[in-house]
């Protein structure tokens, strides 16, 4: 007497479970249409061996029209335009010592350099970064800037690194231009933290650096004649790189004291060409 009752109860429970699963799994109730076909398995599928019953999902026609693949979560890139337009007029804030990694401190920030004609580095880095931002955004990348304009003060190098770390950025790219007094010195270089202080500063940052170097060379920019080797410069003294917990590089686009590069830095078309190369490097790294 008890066993049949239990069996019926189990069947009812099973039916309820199947019903719940089917109802919640797919809104247009795929279970309803596919379960009869699956259980009876009529002609339908020309299964070669016919021993294993075809899974309902293998034979059931799609109930919805094919749509675009699920959107990938946006990758986050932090762009760090070097210096800031208000730094020069705020020496107290800018010279305040802040942690710079490896147990050292450095000034919060610096004023940056300028061309011989007075075009400032902070203006160059801001303009190039905005162009890179636009190019990346057009490709679906979420861009976070370490500063929001070219009239403020700072932020300090440790704050800039924190912005990259807190955002979980896939890549952090600082943009600068150098100020070597040797007028013939020219070419770009990509700096990275060395020796690395964490995993992100190891292979990921090296790959970001070499990818960036390769894309800038491919865009026609010469590697530096006066610092680093083959466009790469390992550094242990750059606070932003030392403090980064994300893959990070610093691109020195060239020498603002070199006449040829200063001319390129000073024109919108020239800045666009640097921005395009940097954006291409970032996108190639993101893959
Ligand atoms: Zn700089």
Catalytic residue among 121, 123, 245, 252: 252
Going from the Cα of 157 to the center of ligand 1, the distance in angstroms, rounded, reads 11
Question: Distances in Å between the alpha carbon of 45 and those of 29, 42, 186?
Answer: 21, 8, 69
Give the per-residue pLDDT at 74: 87
Distance 110 CA to ligand 1 centre (A): 8
The verdict on whether 252 is a catalytic residue reads: yes
Q: How far away, in angstroms, is 99 Cα from ligand 1 center?
A: 18
pLDDT (0 to 100) of residue 73? 75
Say what the pLDDT of residue 79 is.
Answer: 98
Task: Tell me the mean pLDDT per 10 residues along the chain, length 287.
Answer: 45 38 35 39 42 48 59 88 98 98 98 98 98 98 98 98 97 98 96 98 98 98 98 98 98 98 98 98 97
Which contacts qualify for 24-31: CB closer than 8 Å, 24 or more apart? 26/63, 28/63, 28/64, 30/57, 30/60, 30/63
User: With contact defined as beta carbons under 8 Å apart, do 205 and 114 qualify?
Assistant: no
Cα 126 to ligand 1 centre (Å): 11
Cα 208 from Cα 191, distance rounded (Å): 10
Its sign, for the CA torsion 9, 10, 15, 20, is: positive
Q: 117 by DSSP, 3-state: which?
A: coil
What local confidence, expressed as pLDDT, does residue 54 receive?
A: 46
Q: Phi and psi dihedrals of 94, rounded to 5?
A: -75, -30
Given this model, what pLDDT does residue 29 score?
37
Residue range 76-286 forms a domain whose CATH class is alpha beta
Kindly report the backbone phi and psi dihedral angles of residue 275, in degrees, each rounded to the nearest multiple of 5, phi listed first: -60, -40
**Phi and psi, residue 195, nearest 5°:** -70, 150
Ligand 1 centroid to residue 113 C-alpha, Å: 7
The rounded Å distance from CA 29 to ligand 1 centre is: 61
The whole-model pTM stands at 0.76
- DSSP-assigned letter for residue 168: T
What's the alpha-carbon Rg for the chain, to the nearest Å?
29
User: What's the pLDDT at 266?
Assistant: 98
Distance CA 170, CA 159 (A): 18
Give the Å distance between the CA of 188 and the centre of ligand 1.
13
Sign of the dihedral through C-alpha 248, 158, 188, 282: positive
């Amino acid at each position: 007497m008890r066993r049949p009752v239990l069996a019926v109860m189990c069947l009812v429970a099973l039916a309820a479970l199947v019903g719940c699963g089917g109802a919640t799994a797919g809104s247009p109730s795929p279970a309803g249409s596919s379960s009869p076909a699956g259980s009876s398995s009529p002609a339908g599928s020309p299964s070669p061996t016919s021993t294993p019953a075809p899974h309902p999902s293998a034979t059931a026609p799609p109930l919805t029209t094919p749509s675009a693949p699920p959107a990938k979560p946006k990758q986050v890139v932090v762009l760090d335009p070097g210096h800031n337009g208000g730094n020069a007029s705020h020496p107290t804030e800018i010279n305040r010592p802040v942690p710079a990694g490896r147990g050292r401190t450095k000034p919060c920030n610096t004023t940056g350099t300028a061309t011989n004609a007075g075009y400032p580095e902070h203006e160059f880095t801001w303009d190039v970064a905005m162009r890179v931002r636009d190019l990346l955004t057009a490709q679906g990348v979420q861009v976070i800037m370490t500063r929001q304009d070219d009239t403020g003060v700072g932020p300090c190098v440790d704050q800039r690194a924190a912005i990259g770390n807190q955002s979980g950025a896939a890549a952090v790219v600082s943009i600068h231009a150098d100020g070597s007094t040797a007028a013939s010195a020219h070419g770009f270089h990509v700096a990275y933290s060395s020796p690395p202080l964490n995993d992100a500063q190891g292979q990921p940052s090296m790959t970001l650096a070499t990818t960036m170097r390769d894309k800038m060379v491919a865009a026609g920019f010469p590697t530096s004649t006066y610092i680093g080797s083959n466009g790469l410069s390992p550094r242990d003294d750059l606070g932003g790189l030392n403090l980064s917990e994300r893959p990070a590089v610093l691109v020195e686009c060239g020498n603002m004291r070199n006449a040829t590069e200063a001319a390129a830095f000073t024109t919108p078309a020239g800045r666009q060409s640097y921005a395009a190369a940097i954006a291409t490097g970032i996108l190639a790294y993101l893959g």
